[in-house]
């Protein structure tokens, strides 16, 4: 199966959910007013790939974990967000439960 | 808290678990014999960041999901691997269970 970079889809999905425009999201992480919108658009179109530091800033702004952007299917993306909300002790319990199965 | 790119640690961790050398891992994803070892070493030292396509090839070879490399803590990294083994229906059940909490 050909590989599709998951970043564009995830980025657009999380930005829409946060009800932010490409311009306001870009500006909120420090991009110039004039370049924020085209840069964010290029990321969502897959024309350019943001570097890890930029993705981390976007993730923090949108309230998703960094690894969310690299989830290749919707269910693992949703789980990445849910797991990010768990405490360390809840995660350990979940690891134990899934390891038993 | 300063951001630490999680790729170097995750990459080394998964490569060691798969019992592969940097050289053999690099060669297995198509790197030249002469550059495989130094390139993989640079990725693990964080001197260079592999592009998404290269990371996907490494992920497939090491049997981890792509998003594993971007998990910022050990428990979410372990969960990413466990979730990758689940069927779609098992994931849906887990989403429902975690959403109720």
pLDDT tens for each residue of A7-42? 999 999 999 999 999 999 999 999 999 999 999 999
Short-list B36, B28, B27, B23, CA closest to B63: B28
Among B52, B67, B95, select the one facing A75 at the smallest CB separation: B95
> Do the chains contact at A80 and B76, CB–CB below 8 Å?
yes
Please provide the average confidence, as pLDDT, over all residues in chain B.
96
**Which pTM does this prediction carry?**
0.95
Average pLDDT rounded to a whole number, residues A78-92: 97
Residue B101 has pLDDT above 70, yes or no: no
Closest residue in B to A51 (Cα) is: B49
Average pLDDT rounded to a whole number, residues A41-59: 97
- Tokens 């290269």 locate to B54
Q: For residues A37 and A26, what is the distance between their CA atoms, to the nearest angstrom?
A: 7
Q: What percent of chain B has pLDDT over 70?
A: 98
Closest residue in B to A88 (Cα) is: B75
Q: For residues B7 and A13, what is the distance between their CA atoms, to the nearest angstrom?
A: 24
Chain A residues close to B71, C-beta within 8 Å: 65-67
**Which CA distances in Å does A51 have to A47, B33, B42, B50?**
13, 28, 17, 10
In terms of C-beta density within 10 A (0-12 exposed, 13-18 middle, 19 or more buried), how is residue B87 classed?
A: exposed
Helix axes B88-100, A74-84, angle to 10 degrees: 30
Angle at A50 between CA A37 and CA A73, to 5 degrees: 105
CATH of B7-99, one of 3.40.980.10, 3.40.50.300, 3.20.20.70, 1.10.260.40: 1.10.260.40
Please provide the average confidence, as pLDDT, over all residues in chain A.
96
Closest residue in B to A82 (Cα) is: B98
Among B70, B73, B82, select the one facing A99 at the smallest CB separation: B82
Residue B63 has pLDDT above 80, yes or no: yes
What residue segments make up the domains of chain B, in order of their start?
7-99
């Amino acid at each position: 199966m050909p590989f599709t970079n998951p970043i564009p889809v995830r980025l657009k999905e999380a930005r829409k959910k946060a009800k932010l425009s490409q311009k306001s999201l870009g500006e909120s992480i420090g991009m110039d007013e004039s370049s924020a919108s085209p840069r964010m658009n290029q990321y969502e179109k897959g024309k350019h790939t943001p570097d890890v530091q930029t993705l981390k800033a976007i993730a923090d702004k949108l309230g998703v974990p960094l690894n969310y952007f690299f989830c290749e299917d919707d269910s693992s993306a949703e789980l990445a967000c849910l797991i990010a909300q768990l405490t360390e002790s809840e995660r350990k319990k979940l690891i134990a439960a899934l390891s038993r199965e």
